[in-house]
Chains A and B, each alone.
Chain A
Amino acid sequence: MKTLRNLGIDLLLAVLSSLLLAAGILCLPYLIYVWIKGIVAASKGHFPSGETRFDEKYTPEVRNATLDQEGPSLQVYSPTQNTTYNVGTVDNSTNIDSHDSRVVNNYYFNGQPQPREQGPLDTGVTFDPDAPANVLASSPDSLRGPEDLRGIADGSDIPQLGGYGSADDGDKEQGS
């Protein structure tokens, strides 16, 4: 039965092949447009290689945290996301792996003071507990509840963010 069905589809395709070829020819202007666009990009030194920002080799980057200008919060820049995230209170000597630093803010986010009556803000991202170590792999839709962020908000467990350990751990794993 399956063979008969396949044979029927093949027959239909065979009959339609000339129409498909005609459709292909009709789409030539689009293909020429893609070609010209690619050539222009290549001439500017950006040959379309298919590499995206998601293909950048993961390299844990450790940098000293700096206190935000206002409130007990911290900004950490995540190069892969090209975004600055605020995390909980730490002191100037705390090392944080910036790839792993997408946590929460308490009352201060994106450089703006937040209304305190609403309680500590979460920035919509947390860690995937099943992800391998040092891999940032969660999205806003997988946000955990505020109870998971309590320790982060007061800065008491920054070295254990999402179970990834301290910056030293990140270095070890990169080297291994």
Chain B
Amino acid sequence: MSHEQTLGIIILAITIVLIVCVLLLLAHLDRKLYRWQKLGVDRAMRPTYENGLLHSEDDFKEAASAKSSALLFRQLLIPIPLLVLLLVILISVSAATCDSIGKWWAAACFGLEGTYAEVGGMNLLYGLESSPLIGDGEGYLSVLIPILNILTVSDLILIALIEQGILARRKRISEILSQGWRQTFSTRTKPEDTEPQKSE
């Protein structure tokens, strides 16, 4: 195996390990967020429980579901219209300025194009250069389209997390009902204590 091949494989391995580490970190943070979203039911329902007007499981379920739905709406209040607005702008700008998918993709990649070198039979990224598809005076596209793309994807991710929140709350409601809602709220004092510490 030549020196170049060895170097290529090492770089590839390091890249893969880094990507996996980043994904693991994101997944770990997402699990923490999921747990926090689940305990939102406890936080919202404790004052209602202490108000003393809940009398049955049906009452608890009704109140918890209503609070969860209202929270979902409040969380979606900005992201949904923002998503529609961003999509409209993105499609309009792309249609007006890019006459081909290739040009749009080049602009989305900040007007840069990869140069590749063959190392041990593998085409590895060697460097970056300006894309010939982005003409003179069109440099603004290399900023505008990536910004619109990043904002749209960020908004989509936010919406996916909000959706995860409603699933988490539904799961917590059924957990509380199966454990006994009176016991859950009468024996614990703080919301973070209401769920036993366990790994999911």
Contacts and interface: CB of A to CB of B under 8 A. Distances in A.
Contact of A136 (B30, B48, B53, B62): B53
A5 B163 contact: no
Contacts, number: 115
A17 to B, nearest CB: 7
Interface in A10-36: 10-11, 13-15, 17, 20-21, 24-25, 27-28, 31-32, 34-35
B31 A58 contact: no
A163 interface: no
Interface residues of B, number: 41
B157 A21 contact: yes
Q: How large is the interface on A (under 10, 10 to 19, 20 to 34, 35 or more residues)?
A: 35 or more
A135 interface: yes
Interface string B19-58: 0100110111011000000000000100110011111100
Contacts of B200: 9
B3 interface: no
Interface in A42-84: 48-50, 52-58, 80
A163 to B, nearest CB: 15
Contacts of A2: 199
Interface string B142-169: 0000000000000011011011100000
B24 A7 contact: yes
B24 A9 contact: no
A24 B163 CA distance: 7
A166 interface: no
A38 interface: yes
A121 B55 CA distance: 21
B53 A11 contact: no
A55 B199 contact: no
B76 A14 contact: no
Nearest to B57: A139
B70 interface: yes
Contact of A49 (B23, B70, B159, B162): B70
A144 to B, nearest CB: 15
Contacts of A176: none
B163 A27 contact: yes
B122 interface: no
B199 A53 contact: no
Given A11-B24, A13-B30, A54 B73 contact: no
Contacts of A125: 55
